[in-house]
Amino acid sequence: MPSPAATPARGSRILNAMTVDVEDYFQVQAFAGVIPRADWDGIPRRVEANTDHILQAFDRAGIRATFFTLGWVAERHGALVRRIVAGGHELASHGYDHVRVDQLCPATFRADIIRTKAILEDAGGVPVRGYRAPTFSIGTRNPWAFDELAAAGYEYSSSVYPIRHDLYGMPDAPRFPFRPGGGRLWEIPMTTLRVAARNLPCAGGGYFRLLPYGVYRSGLARLNRREERPGVFYFHPWEVDPDQPRVTDAGRLARFRHYVGLRSMRARLERLLRDFRWDSIDRVFADMLTPAAVR
């Protein structure tokens, strides 16, 4: 049985976890079938400028966040990684080049997470203890991934989304932090609301851009108020970039998921930063992690 985390103190104003998955627009799962990885180095990169915009927004709001960063990006943008760390944010791993974990064998996954951890720690000069699987691709088919992460020196994962989705999801997983298999690694799942015996997404991403802002705001407020739990929000640098090149070869659904709501994302993010309290994962969940994990 998984070991649950403690519930925050009753009556406190909940501190939520802000997270950014640092990848460029051409590296997303939606375009995996039309943009070969072999072509990535020939595509003009926009990730550094977009991430700098996010860093500036966070600095104005006075918050810190967790940046789950691709090793591929860190190799090419070491100065960006150092700016993330210099801003007081947590540096964490998003894998090397955004390959789904459920497409890897244990040995290949092991090599990926060890390699990426080393790249990030070399670039940022700080320990990397957190990991997020590309496209939330850890679930019932590959629970071995948790053991590999623990063996590689990670303290936590934020890779499970307890919903039903055509690309990912582990709907029967605990909704709040737990230790998979009773091991030492913590899993910090993406935020959901329990409504009529079903988990509904409340963690950001495409749902945040698609639905009215008030719907998300009400959902997170309900989680904080009624369940007295912190939420985990995530988004990507390309989501604040409405002028990014259009990938016309992708399917209609993939293009809809990627481009919906991009024009309004910056304004929505600014509202979100004002409406709730935010910090990095290593601080929001500091009571679960070792003291050394918090700067």
Strand duo 277-279 + 232-235: pairing: unpaired
**Cα–Cα distance for residue pair 222/197, rounded to 1 Å:** 16
> What is the token pair recorded at 230?
């912190």
Is residue 1, in this structure, part of any structural domain at all?
no
41 domain residue, yes or no: yes
Residue 57 lies in a domain: yes
In a domain, 28, yes or no: yes
CATH code of residue 261: 3.20.20.370
Whether 4 maps to a domain, the answer reads no
DSSP 32-57: TTTS-GGGGGGSPP-HHHHHHHHHHH
Q: In this structure, is residue 5 part of a structural domain?
A: no
| Local confidence pLDDT in tens for the 295 residues of the chain | 344 444 443 434 899 999 999 999 999 998 998 999 999 999 999 999 999 999 999 999 999 999 999 999 999 999 999 999 999 999 999 999 999 999 999 999 999 999 999 999 999 999 999 999 999 999 989 999 999 999 999 999 999 999 776 666 678 889 999 999 988 999 999 999 998 888 999 999 988 999 999 999 999 999 999 999 999 999 999 999 999 999 999 999 999 989 999 999 999 999 999 999 999 999 999 998 875 444 4
Whether 10 is covered by a domain: the verdict is: no
Contact 100, 145 (CB under 8 A): no
What is the number of helices (H) and of strands (E) in the chain? 10, 10
Let me know if residue 75 belongs to a domain. Answer: yes
Angle in degrees, 0-180, between the axes of helices 47-61 and 78-86, rounded to the nearest 10: 10
CA gap 222, 25 in Å, rounded: 32
Name every residue whose Cβ is closer than 8 Å to that of residue 66 and which is 6 or more positions away in sequence: 17, 18, 19, 20, 89, 90, 92, 130, 158, 280, 281, 282
Number of domains in the chain: 1
Structure tokens at 271: 């509202």
CA 157 – CA 189 distance, rounded (Å): 8
What gap in Å lies between CA 36 and CA 26, rounded to an integer?
9
